């Protein structure tokens, strides 16, 4: 069902897809608590972060955006406005809420530059897909191989610290977290059909 790799030409033939659910942009610390209450109801969340790119050697910016997503709802935390309050730390440390992402080691390391915490419940898709003999494990290739969709990376190097995120940035950020969620769900469904 899944292949070890998929080439660029095949990916380019796939339909482009993006998150079409509801997106909540969390811009203030006051907005965090009600959103955490919603997130606590979700057993599985797609996870990603965005950082404003630095084009100067040796300079690294802090994470600007934390994205979490379920099948129908995405939450985008503007960390450059909210920081990482205690209730969000608890969510990131909660081992009972599964948080799935790609290249999460770097994301978690960068988040720890904001606030120290002990991550819990995280699943690295790049490791997880090894048992399916999938070798191409970047998010774009995983989306193509497992979900048969193409995702855009056009906003990747945009300014994530801009005062108001553009609609394109919001859609891109939500899509990255949602795709992680969908890939994990599809792999788990595949596992269940094998037994």
How do the domains of the chain map onto residue ranges? 8-190
pLDDT for residue 105: 95
pTM of the model: 0.92
Instruction: Report the 3 state secondary structure along the chain.
Output: CCCCCCCHHHHHHCCECCCCCEEEEECCHHHHHHHHHHHCCCCEEEEEEEECCCCCCCCCCCEEEEEEECCCEEEEEEHHHHCCCHHHHHHHHCCCCEEEECCHHHHHHHHHHHCCCCCCCEEEHHHHHHHHCCCCCCHHHHHHHHHCCECCCCCCCCCCCCCCCCHHHHHHHHHHHHHHHHHHHHHHHHHHHCC
pLDDT tens across the length of the chain (195 residues): 788 888 888 888 888 889 999 999 999 999 999 999 999 999 999 999 999 876 667 667 789 999 999 999 999 999 999 999 999 999 999 999 999 999 999 999 999 998 999 999 999 999 999 999 998 888 999 999 999 998 987 666 678 999 999 999 999 999 999 999 999 999 999 876 765
8-190 is classed in which CATH architecture? Answer: 2-Layer Sandwich (3.30)
């Amino acid at each position: 069902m899944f292949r070890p790799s998929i080439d660029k030409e095949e990916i380019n033939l796939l339909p482009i897809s993006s998150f079409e659910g509801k997106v909540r942009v969390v811009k203030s610390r006051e907005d965090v608590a009600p959103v955490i209450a919603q997130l606590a109801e979700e057993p599985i969340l797609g996870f990603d972060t965005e950082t404003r790119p630095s084009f100067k050697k040796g300079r690294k910016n802090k994470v600007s955006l934390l994205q979490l997503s379920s099948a129908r709802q995405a939450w985008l935390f503007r960390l450059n406005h909210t920081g990482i309050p205690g209730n969000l730390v608890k969510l990131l440390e909660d081992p009972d809420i599964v948080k799935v992402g790609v290249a999460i080691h770097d994301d978690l390391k960068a988040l720890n530059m904001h606030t120290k915490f002990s991550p819990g419940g995280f699943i690295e898709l790049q490791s997880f897909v090894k048992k399916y003999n999938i070798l191409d494990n970047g998010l774009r290739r995983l989306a193509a191989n497992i979900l048969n969709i193409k995702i855009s990376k056009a906003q990747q190097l945009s300014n994530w610290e801009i005062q108001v995120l553009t609609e394109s940035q919001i859609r891109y950020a939500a899509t990255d977290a949602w795709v992680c969620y969908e890939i994990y769900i599809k792999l788990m469904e595949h596992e269940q059909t094998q037994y």
